[in-house]
Amino acid sequence: MTADSHDRFSVEGQVAIVTGASSGIGKAIAEQFAAGGADVVICSREQENVEPVADGIEDSDRPGEALAVECDVTDREAVDALVEATVEAFGGIDTLVNNAGASFMANFDDISPNGWETIVDINLHGTYHCTQAAGEHLSDGGGSVVNMASVAGQQGAPYMSHYGAAKAAVINLTSTLAYEWASEDVRVNCIAPGFVATPGVASQMGVTAGDIDRDSVDRTIGLSEEIADLTRFLASPASSYVVGETVRAAGVPQIEESPQS
């Protein structure tokens, strides 16, 4: 790889907002960007949850700086304050990573109106609020939005109808907004992870990141760092011709073997 081609994969000098960054995928993304020389603003609903992530980045040898901001992505005033804090601290926004999300498993008949609205509010409306609030600054010099969806939004998922519906909407929003914002030199893309060994998945499935060999191809559960690598690529100039796409990161596809004739 030449020096020039290596530079195309760089996020050095960028300013990135990463929502839902207190743990798991969001935390890994923030750390990956900071390691690459980007300044990161990370948020979650509780300052005490996200502050240690920022402190960890600041105390490390990663060249990027980190700022922790308490923000509920469903609260537009809080989101506007997040954007203002980012611009005030670092002078602009180059990349927005809409990672904040939530879910619980339940039969469709058992999901209350409040439960449905809460999941849609965080996963879909939160993406809307953050993207619209950051849009003006992203278009100043060209920028990138990376939305986090799910394979549940591509093919459905039993007992996660609320989550799957919200993530399907995020996928559609991605392609639609990519078309609208292309003339502003803003690229909008999406990632649809399958099972990832986050703390939440570990508690439900009993599989931790330490159990996973990244060098193994034959698997259907991934690492937060693998999603972070893909996010960094989509935010870098190397993905300049990738616009409006949803990249599935779910390991080996599940294909039914046909009986031999």
> What's the pLDDT tens digit per position in 187-205?
999 999 999 988 776 666 6
Cβ-contact 14, 33 below 8 angstroms: yes
Q: What is the pLDDT of residue 205?
A: 65
Residue 240: inside a domain:
yes
Q: What is the pLDDT of residue 198?
A: 83
Closest CA to 220 of 200, 258, 199, 248: 248
User: Is 3 a residue whose pLDDT tops 60?
Assistant: no
Residue 222: inside a domain:
yes
Residue 258: inside a domain:
no
CB neighbourhood size of 40 (10 A): 31
* CATH code of the domain covering residue 23: 3.40.50.720
| Both structure tokens of 150 | 């799910």
Mean pLDDT for 49-69 is: 97
Of the two residues 47 and 5, the one the predictor is more confident about is 47
Residue 194: inside a domain:
yes
Mean pLDDT for 233-250 is: 98
Residue 1: inside a domain:
no
Mean pLDDT for 2-9 is: 72
Q: What is the pLDDT of residue 197?
A: 87
Q: What is the DSSP letter of 259?
A: P
| Domains of the chain: total | 1
Active site (annotated) includes residue 163: yes
User: Is 4 a residue whose pLDDT tops 80?
Assistant: no
Residue 182: inside a domain:
yes
Residue 160: inside a domain:
yes
Q: What is the pLDDT of residue 202?
A: 63
| Both structure tokens of 36 | 């690459």
Residue 112: inside a domain:
yes
This prediction has a pTM of: 0.94
Given the residues 128, 159, 163, 241, the one annotated as active site: 163
Structural domain for 13, as ranges: 8-249
C-alpha separations of 170 from 62, 124, 126 in Å = 32, 6, 10
